[in-house]
Chain A
Amino acid sequence: METCSRSVRFLAPRARLVTARFGEARRSRAGVTLRAYMQSGRTLVSLAVGVGLWGPAASAQPPPSADPTAPPPAPVITATGRVIDALGRPVAGATVTGDGPGEPVTTDRDGRFRVTAPAGTALVVSSARYASALASVTGARIDDVVLLELGTERIEVGGQAPTPAAGAAKLDREELQRLPGTGGDVVRALTAMPGVVNLQIPLGYSGVVIRGSSPQDSKVLIDDFEIPLLFHPLGIRAVVPAESIQSLTFIPGGFDVSYGRSSSGIVQLTTRPGSDTRSEQAEVSLIDGGLSAQGPIGAHTRYMFAVRRSVIDFILPLVIPDSVDLSLTTVPNYWDEQLRIDHELNARWNLSLSSVGTDDVFELLTTKEQDAGSKRFYTLTRFLRLTAAAKYHAGEWQSTLALSGMISQLNAEVGLYQRLNVTGPLITPRATVARAMPAAAGLQDVVWSAGAEAQIGYSHVDLAIPLERREGEPFPAYDPKDTTTTFKGSVWYPDYAAWSSIAASFDPRVRLTLGLRADYFARPSELALQPRGELQVKLAENLSSRFGAGGYRRPPEFQSEFLQKDVKSEHSSQLTWGVEYTPILGVRLQGSLYYTDRTQLITHNTDGSLGNTGRGTSKGAELLGMLHGGPWFGWLGYSYSRSERVDTPGGASRLFDYDQTHSLNAALSWKRGRWQLGGRFQLYSGLPFTPATGSEFDSDRNLHLPLYGPVNSDRAPIHHQLDVRVDYAWTWGPAQMLIYLDVQNVYLDRSVVTYFYSYDYSQRSAFESLPLLPAAGLRAVL
């Protein structure tokens, strides 16, 4: 296989973030490969686009010569080809011009064309709506030529781009909104990802558990920076609506050195940039309502702003029966906001300013008595993150400088004695640089990247809570007067990180990436070196394999971990192997195997303090199939997982709390004209739990102290459900209208989340998700 490593830039004047590289020639049935190298800084995207070149690039061919020593003239051949857009749709009426004397030809309604020219002839393909592209005559069949729309700010690589790691997946906004059973919500959409523990309620503070570990082991990033939580406490909605998201990238493991502070997986949300045309949108559902606006400001600036408020606080009081002993003194309500401004300073520099914020509060009394403080439950959660970034791109160099700040506040009060109040700012500066070279030191497509960041946090903490429950520990009896853990003071927790990696192709079929990340967690005074690497091998035209290995760390920052300076980070060593297969354009199949060894897991010592004595393993397999074709969008995901751990040396092995053996998601959506119909089938194992075998009564505390069997020795039953979604769009005056109905679990299968016990643990009852959860909404776009 021959390749040409000469970089050119597409002629799209606004395709600023795209560098097209005729770098990896490949003979594929589809003939199109988009490679996204997320090598550094997460904002640095170098897209290498092979557009069906086979052999040296046409523009690099020497002209015919009469020199007798020159090779004989190339044979004239008749070749056929096809012109498509970035989504794989045929482009009709495109002009295909050779660099010889022949007449231009025009593509037919299927985007197909036929030319007769000497082998090696360069072809220029142009169309009014698209940037021109190059191709060459290499045989009877020319690989597909991809045209990018003029004015395209970003290429929607969707399911066609290589994923950041084996087993990773990506959904763009439209796909998020098409996936039935999610209500267009990010948290619920995540449950469709193979490797994500599926349950009808969000899990843990992040709302997502990846590969059977613990929620705190994974990070949720918005525009490259962490957010403290992804969902509202009542678990109804993610803090960022799908309308404000450009894409969701899910990396279950094996991520590169530019990501850190996570021992399991990464969920990366990218906010939506404003469009080139002004539009306003309003949407209301049974849960919340929102407004958004986007458009240009002058020739070089675009904005997107969105705000959303819950409406459930208006509905909830109406549906709670009067007979229930409940006083909603502050009905659950929330606000969300997103802002993004992008400015093109010049051809090399782009500036952006973005913010994400949420404010969520509710207070209730489990009595009608308004002065019964012992029955009070109150939470307030709010954060605001503001990020300014400057991106530089010139030739082989790209760089990003970003400064992000966040203020957050968490207040929770239960009864008269228990409280948790944490407030404080967090500052995160980050710099990344990358150089992409066609060739260096005898290697091809060499990409070097490096970066550094600091995460400097300060929190004022006031807490009086029971001894916190750690992973696997059964729930203790609830004692409203238990304030075993108390702390009042301020905590600094500066963390620093630096990383570098280099990726290169030794051969057109073999690409190796090696990197090293160093984290310094200042509070426990711990330096963590994490080498990572990945080997990509192209096994066939549309079949590639990836093997990754690396070390990962999660700093001690969960719950009260940061109060103990001698608690170190948790370690994981990950091995991943995966294959990716694209049999035809629009269809992608991928499978992966993983093994994760976890050490230094933070557990309780016998005296109630924390230590790093736990260890465990996670292993499993994941399959994912995606279909994008015409009116169809399909999704098939399956994962098998087994996660076990030992909490103390010599202790018994047990399952992780979130070990989910099987999880299957199959979704299909069809869109034609004004209608969009979709269905999604889910089937997944129940989660393990520790059965209570009885209790002993402490008369003075008036508490029944539970007696438990072996940890996580029982499991909730398997659950399956069918979700359906119907969308209907129409035009009403100047507005584009959309109404949708998204219904989960249409055949009412019981979904046991877990079990709860009577006050004396003599009786057990299933805690089930709602049997039927409909979501309906109306959207108007001006």
Chain B
Amino acid sequence: MRTCAAFAVALAACTQDVDAAWELDHDRVIAVRSTPSRIASGETAVLDALVGRKAQPPSDRDPDTASVVSPSGLDAALARPAGHWTVTAPPDDQLAPARVELGLAADAPVPLRVRMVFADTGEVAYKVVWLGEHADNPVVDPISLDGMDGLAITQLSVAPGTRIPFAVQLDDSYNINWLTSCGTMHDFDLPRSYLRVEPEDSHAGTLALVVRDALGGVVWYLWSITAP
């Protein structure tokens, strides 16, 4: 959004700001997680989501409804025992028809595409759970928050009007999002980001880091943040 300013000099101007992609104070599904991200036959993964709501801190949520979009014939892999949505990988002989349907190699993992609905806002989200091989969600370490070890703290207090650097050591294969409901985030989708709390910004809220890897894994970290 703000990059429009440069082009505005020559072409046009952007007006009436919309919420930025790093804004946590907004109704949104931030990420859906399968734990683990890939499961071998017989293994079970649990689905949950990180959800943001306006004027509320983000929280873990279970989707209200879920269904299998594709491939056909694997609907039974999705279930909701004990209030959590789970996916159980069927035996390899049941995955074979799905591989044929999707045009996959004989030993390739099968993507089970799940559609989820969050009833309070009507939001729809999709998540792929990979069946036929095992992979865990990524772990991010270290996380640097204003020079501190992010894994060792749960709260962060920053000075208003100053550049507060955040950093992780991940390459371009990862999808990285720094999100906040306190201050203005810069370079929110780069490994090195920074926050500046301007006078017109909210001075208290939540800082979130969401990281996705190339295998479908996802992990998030949350901190409460203030700028007194």
- Which residues of A come within 8 Å of B, CB atoms? 200-201, 234-236, 312, 316, 319-321, 324-326, 328, 332, 364, 366-369, 372-375, 416, 696-700, 702, 753, 756-760, 762-771
Contacts and interface: CB of A to CB of B under 8 A. Distances in A.
B32 interface: yes
Given A369-B192, A416-B172, A699-B31, A766 B18 contact: no
12 contacts: A200-B12, A312-B9, A320-B6, A324-B2, A326-B5, A374-B189, A698-B126, A700-B128, A700-B218, A759-B20, A765-B16, A768-B12
Contact of A700 (B10, B172, B212): B212
Given A235-B11, A696-B125, A762 B27 contact: yes
Contacts of B3: 324-326, 366
Interface string B1-44: 01111111111111111111100001111011000000000000
Contacts of A753: 12
B136 interface: no
Contacts of A766: 15-16
B187 interface: yes
The listed residue with most A CB atoms (<10 A of its CB), out of B6, B7, B218, is B6
A372 B187 contact: yes
A696 B32 CA distance: 13
Contacts of A201: 11-12
B28 A760 contact: yes
A366 B3 CA distance: 6
Contacts of B7: 234
B47 to A, nearest CB: 10
A84 B45 CA distance: 92
A369 B175 CA distance: 17
Interface string B189-219: 1101000000000000000000010001010
Contacts of B6: 316, 320, 324, 326, 328, 364
Contacts of A697: 28-29, 32, 123-126
A581 to B, nearest CB: 39
Nearest to B117: A696
Contact of B12 (A326, A757, A770): A770
Q: A200, A332, A369, A700 — which one has the most chain B CB atoms within 10 A of its CB? A: A700
B2 A699 contact: no
B177 interface: yes
B131 to A, nearest CB: 14
A253 B12 CA distance: 31
Interface string B105-125: 000000000000000000111
A234 B10 contact: yes
Contacts of B16: 765-766
A326 B9 CA distance: 13
Contacts of A764: 18
A721 to B, nearest CB: 14
Contacts of A324: 2-3, 5-6
Given A312-B10, A699-B126, A325 B187 contact: yes
B17 to A, nearest CB: 7
A763 B18 contact: yes
A312 B9 CA distance: 10
Contact of A374 (B28, B128, B172, B192): B172
Nearest to B111: A700
B186 interface: yes
A660 B218 CA distance: 47
A700 B127 contact: yes
A767 to B, nearest CB: 6
Which 4 A-B residue pairings sit nearest by Cβ, starting from the closest? A758-B18, A699-B32, A763-B18, A759-B21
Contact of B10 (A332, A368, A765): A332
A767 B212 contact: no
A367 to B, nearest CB: 5
B216 to A, nearest CB: 5
A129 to B, nearest CB: 46
A373 B17 CA distance: 26
A700 B38 CA distance: 13
B216 A321 contact: no
A757 B128 CA distance: 26
A491 B29 CA distance: 45
Contacts of A699: 29, 31-32, 49, 125-127, 218
B18 A765 contact: yes
Nearest to A753: B12
Given A235-B11, A766-B15, A325 B186 contact: yes
